[in-house]
Structure 1
Amino acid sequence: MKKNAKTTGLHQTRRQLLATGLAAAAVPILGARQTFANTPTQGGTLRLGTGHGSTSDSMDPALNTSAFITLLSGAFANRLTEIDPNGEITPELAESWEGSENGKVWHFKLRQGVTFHNGKTMDADDVIATLNAHRGEESQSSVKALANQINEITKISASEIKIELTGANADYPLLLSAGAFAIMPLVDGELQTEAGIGTGGYILERIDMGVKAVLRKNPAYFKENAAFFDAVEINIINDPSARQNALLTGRVDVIDQVTPKTADLLARRPGVRLVEVAGSLHYTFPMLTNTAPFDDNNVRLALKYGCNRTEMVEKVLRGHGTLGNDHPIPVTDRYFNADLEQRQFDPDKAKFHLKEAGLDSLEVQLTASESIWIGALEAVQLYSERSKGAGLNIIPKKVPNDGYWSNVWMKEPWSAAYWSGRATPDWMFTAAYSADSSWNDTFWAHDRFNELLVKGRSELDESVRAGIYHEMQQIVSDEGGTVIPMFANHIMSVSDKIGVPDKVGGDWELDGGRAIERWWYTGN
């Protein structure tokens, strides 16, 4: 029995997959999942201004540490599966899939007749080579921990593959929707990871890293009701004021990362409108737990209790978000642990944990840049000021925006960062907290946590699985290496010239990173 992936929500899909033999069927016409207040029109140019991107970015989706590359690769490439605006898993380059052994073995049938921008027909060899590029000890891929769950990939035919995992994972097709898993062409035995060639709705014409990318419509795109623009310009404008000014002066049509301070004012400006979506985006202050003094959990707890997260939500987010509790699972997730006590600003508890660490006070440096996320420097300053009464002397360190992800993140002992979150707790925990993840940005390792992570993937009893993820949230909150003060809404502003679907995805910036494919030009 096969289940139509079009008609079920993300979590409902998982339950029904388990009940029907871990199977999902193809959607006849991709793009039909969207609903529109007005019929999208073909044509026009999208000029987008984004607050992400730097000269150190790589075209290789596997090495992506920038939302700019996620956005770009979402325009020129596709993955096996996709998460649609409603949070549903839908087929993309995979036409259908079926699992067995509680999700340890997966068969994928590939969409036929799809061509890369270089004219090559996409087939099983391209998919296998792409997935294998993320695996192994030498891999630097951001999804290495996900890919290393694969034990073996077998080519059944040009349009069918079998993936055998090292252990059961009932969510594995969903994980293959990760941006880093964009399918690249295999040419003369070499995977073209940095050529900017994919199967997507737009063809990359030119790129100037840290500045701009230009794309044109792919006339042979396999999706219907998608990729409406004739051309696309992605402009990197890291300064929030400059980005907003570019929108108001008509230089761009869409901007992301609207500052909470100016959101309400911008909403009242004629000719533009706000698009705001609550999701799993969360702002973090990761500490390197393999480096003193952050190798002491009492120090980490002191810093967590020294953070006035309520004030940050009020003053930095201006209410456009919610409190964080030092773990990455949002309140909207079905596995959110509602029984976990919300951590509050408590100078006395901070002092207690400092004393437990053998310290009367603590002086540490917290590194951030202006554009790492909107209000990052303001948040660091608030953190520094309020924590002084807790025996903490947090010294803000401002660094340049360009090269932050390559020069600061996972290198400075304590820094600002953010995560857009992931569609399931397993995905989020695997990507950022598992001991073997290349994106474990605190270098944190916890035996019980990693044991539960593996156990949760194959657990079919929903109540037992919920208990596993509840315990994992408790462990990360109490023993993890990152302070997570708040979850932020995605705030974008759009010219009246741009049409937006009724439902916008919140799993990543700009409609799940797919605004270029899903939005359209109205000509107003």
Structure 2
Amino acid sequence: MTNRFTTVGLAGGLIFGASVAFAQQADITIGQQLEPPHLDPTSAAAGAIDQVVYSNIFEGLTRFGPDGSVGPGLARSWDVSEDGLTYTFHLAEGVKFHDGTTMDAEDVVFSLNRARAEDSANAQKALFAGITDVVATDAATVTVTLSNPDGAFPFKMAWGDAVIVAPESIDGIKTTPIGTGAFMFDNWVEGDRIELKKNPEYWGEPAMLDAVTFKFISDPTAAFASMMAEDVDVFAAFPAPENLPQFDADPRFKVLVGSTEGETILAINNKQAPFDNVKVREAVAHAINRQEIIDGAQFGYGTPIGTHFAPHNPDYVDLTGQSGYDPEKAKMLLEEAGVTLPLKVKMTLPPPSYARRGGEIIAAQLRQVGIEAQIENVEWAQWLEGTFRGKDYALTIVSHTEPMDINIYARPDYYFQYDNADFQALIAKIDVESDPAARSEMFKQAQQVIADDYVNAYLFQLPLITVAKAGVEGLWENAPTQAADMTAVHWAE
């Protein structure tokens, strides 16, 4: 989407890893609940794509570090002009794509122009909207000119949607991706696994593993069984939190509980009657008991949110009280809005456990105020095509796992179809504001606006729960972006 949706995000970084030789096991199997629809992160919104390819296969000019900071990627450094309109990126030398061809400034020009083109299929096309020109000054230097100053431009270039690709391999990118990363695509057995192998000619710090297998296990019970049988070495975003005490008590395993950028929401189609009435959307928000969902679907793991912003961000405003659980108020608002009850609506649920389990609880809560949510369980590809692109839904549950993505509310054609000109103007001001204090105040204002408009029902911040064998090292506890970056992962001696 213009945003990533799914459940996983763990990572390790090439520029943050240690140069250590390990003689033990050299391969690893990662359990993952969702299978990617394809492997091109620059043309789809499914977060499962980035989980496999981000930093492993594909790299960008910049990259996210384990603490969410932005560091060098293929660009080892960059300069910014005094007026803030020009970024000059200095590329790493000796970089080759996995097919042996050279990665140079022309590939960067191609990638950025492809992403911002009028016919671009990039799910995060807005990241590139401020670019007016991209020029290869020489083979190792790229100059990007912006329409307005943008201090967040290096941050934008760290997203998976901004990775550098080659025009020669673009036709096969969805099934046989060719990047510059520490791992190379090896094999895909659809419905089962994707296999990567170490890139022996990698330009940076080499990977510590020889092979990585992403094993797709959608069922929570099967995920538990696969870990207990030691068929899987790591399961990121483990889908059965009720089983965590068993892993905690077993010396073969360790449990990591961290945070993600994933705002989990009950998304509402703002253009579909009667949800085009703010009172009806507010009624939905007051009909929902967040803690009951966190306890019932997540077994207590998750932080309640009242707007689309991560609680660990210093600019976060706690607005949970504004949409607190109040079924009587919900009934009153529905009556004021003239809604005939029972109101029957379609609630579309994608595969992740938080959606399927949470959806059952939310449907029961909505029923108490006269809203009959008719559940339709769909696979991820169906959700992307029908719900996200086709906007054929009334309610749906999804985690938005990209960092600092409140700007999606400034896109009236986005899947929840919220159209507020004042909010759009506010986001435009944030984009060109360089003063940190001023940006902070505007971000707080933006959170309040979407809370006041009850655009969606905000549920909880998705935690990152990782179950791993005790000997696995180098996993990130938190997920500053949605990825399973394996470049610094290794087995302990």
Query: TM-score by structure 2 length?
Result: 0.89
Shift of 1:68: 2.7
Give 3-state SS (helix, strand or coil) of 1:513's partner: coil
Cα distance in 1, alignment partners of residues 380 and 109 from structure 2 = 36
Equivalent residue, structure 1, for 2:406: 429
Q: 2:183 aligns with which of 202, 205, 215?
A: 202
Equivalent residue, structure 1, for 2:215: 235
Please tell me whether the aligned partners of residues 269 and 395 of structure 2 are also in contact (alpha carbons under 8 angstroms). no
- Aligned residue runs from structure 1 range 503-514, under 5 A: 504-509=477-482, 512-514=483-485
Give 3-state SS (helix, strand or coil) of 1:184's partner: coil
- Aligned residue runs from structure 1 range 126-141, under 5 A: 126-141=107-122
Equivalent residue, structure 2, for 1:269: 250
Matched, 1:383 2:351: no
Equivalent residue, structure 1, for 2:418: 444
Q: 2:394 aligns with which of 394, 411, 414?
A: 414
Q: 1:304 aligns with which of 267, 285, 290?
A: 285
Matched, 1:120 2:90: no
Compared CA separation, residues 119 and 32, structure 1 to 2 (3 A) = closer
Cα distance in 1, alignment partners of residues 96 and 280 from structure 2 = 54
Equivalent residue, structure 2, for 1:103: 84
Compared CA separation, residues 155 and 414, structure 1 to 2 (3 A) = same
Give 3-state SS (helix, strand or coil) of 2:411's partner: coil
Q: 1:33 aligns with which of 13, 16, 32?
A: 16
Shift of 1:96: 0.8
Shift of 1:342: 4.4
Matched, 1:317 2:291: no
Q: Which amino acid aligns with 2:488?
A: R
Please tell me whether the aligned partners of residues 263 and 309 of structure 2 are also in contact (alpha carbons under 8 angstroms). no
Give 3-state SS (helix, strand or coil) of 2:95's partner: coil
Compared CA separation, residues 156 and 464, structure 1 to 2 (3 A) = same
Equivalent residue, structure 2, for 1:215: 196
Please tell me whether the aligned partners of residues 253 and 497 of structure 1 are also in contact (alpha carbons under 8 angstroms). no
Which ranges of structure 1 fall in alignment gaps of 5 or more residues? 1-29
Give 3-state SS (helix, strand or coil) of 2:293's partner: helix
Compared CA separation, residues 231 and 35, structure 1 to 2 (3 A) = closer
Equivalent residue, structure 1, for 2:452: 478
Equivalent residue, structure 1, for 2:35: 53
Compared CA separation, residues 461 and 444, structure 1 to 2 (3 A) = same
Cα distance in 2, alignment partners of residues 270 and 42 from structure 1 = 19
Cα distance in 2, alignment partners of residues 171 and 48 from structure 1 = 32
Shift of 1:185: 1.5
Shift of 1:161: 1.2
Equivalent residue, structure 1, for 2:375: 396
Cα distance in 1, alignment partners of residues 75 and 288 from structure 2 = 45
Compared CA separation, residues 283 and 180, structure 1 to 2 (3 A) = same
Compared CA separation, residues 436 and 378, structure 1 to 2 (3 A) = closer
Farther off after superposition, 179-188 or 327-336 = 179-188
Shift of 1:389: 3.3
Cα distance in 2, alignment partners of residues 191 and 124 from structure 1 = 20
Cα distance in 1, alignment partners of residues 337 and 268 from structure 2 = 16
Equivalent residue, structure 2, for 1:176: 157
**Residue deviations 1:221-266 (CA, integer Å, cap 9, x gap):** 1222x52111111111111111221121121111122222222222
Please tell me whether the aligned partners of residues 313 and 486 of structure 1 are also in contact (alpha carbons under 8 angstroms). yes
Give 3-state SS (helix, strand or coil) of 1:280's partner: strand
Cα distance in 2, alignment partners of residues 205 and 119 from structure 1 = 15
Equivalent residue, structure 1, for 2:4: none
Please tell me whether the aligned partners of residues 274 and 491 of structure 1 are also in contact (alpha carbons under 8 angstroms). yes
Compared CA separation, residues 297 and 162, structure 1 to 2 (3 A) = same
Shift of 1:341: 4.2
Q: Which amino acid aligns with 1:255?
A: F
Shift of 1:383: 1.4
Cα distance in 2, alignment partners of residues 42 and 82 from structure 1 = 29
Equivalent residue, structure 2, for 1:461: 435
Equivalent residue, structure 2, for 1:493: 467
Cα distance in 2, alignment partners of residues 135 and 321 from structure 1 = 36
Shift of 1:480: 4.9
Query: TM-score by structure 1 length?
Result: 0.84
Compared CA separation, residues 309 and 338, structure 1 to 2 (3 A) = closer
Please tell me whether the aligned partners of residues 98 and 184 of structure 2 are also in contact (alpha carbons under 8 angstroms). yes
Please tell me whether the aligned partners of residues 217 and 230 of structure 1 are also in contact (alpha carbons under 8 angstroms). yes
Farther off after superposition, 382-391 or 67-76 = 382-391
Cα distance in 1, alignment partners of residues 393 and 81 from structure 2 = 44
Equivalent residue, structure 1, for 2:3: none
Cα distance in 1, alignment partners of residues 320 and 29 from structure 2 = 44
Equivalent residue, structure 2, for 1:146: 127
Equivalent residue, structure 1, for 2:324: 344
Compared CA separation, residues 138 and 294, structure 1 to 2 (3 A) = farther
Compared CA separation, residues 82 and 400, structure 1 to 2 (3 A) = closer
Please tell me whether the aligned partners of residues 273 and 495 of structure 1 are also in contact (alpha carbons under 8 angstroms). yes
Q: Which has the higher contact order (CA 8 A, sep 6+)?
A: 2
Give 3-state SS (helix, strand or coil) of 2:123's partner: coil
Q: Which amino acid aligns with 1:435?
A: R
Compared CA separation, residues 237 and 310, structure 1 to 2 (3 A) = same
Cα distance in 2, alignment partners of residues 296 and 336 from structure 1 = 27
Compared CA separation, residues 419 and 436, structure 1 to 2 (3 A) = same
Identity %: 23
Shift of 1:393: 2.5
Shift of 1:451: 0.5
**Residue deviations 1:295-319 (CA, integer Å, cap 9, x gap):** 2222211111111112112222222
Equivalent residue, structure 2, for 1:44: 26
Please tell me whether the aligned partners of residues 229 and 520 of structure 1 are also in contact (alpha carbons under 8 angstroms). yes
Q: Which amino acid aligns with 1:299?
A: V
Please tell me whether the aligned partners of residues 46 and 231 of structure 1 are also in contact (alpha carbons under 8 angstroms). yes
Give 3-state SS (helix, strand or coil) of 2:276's partner: coil
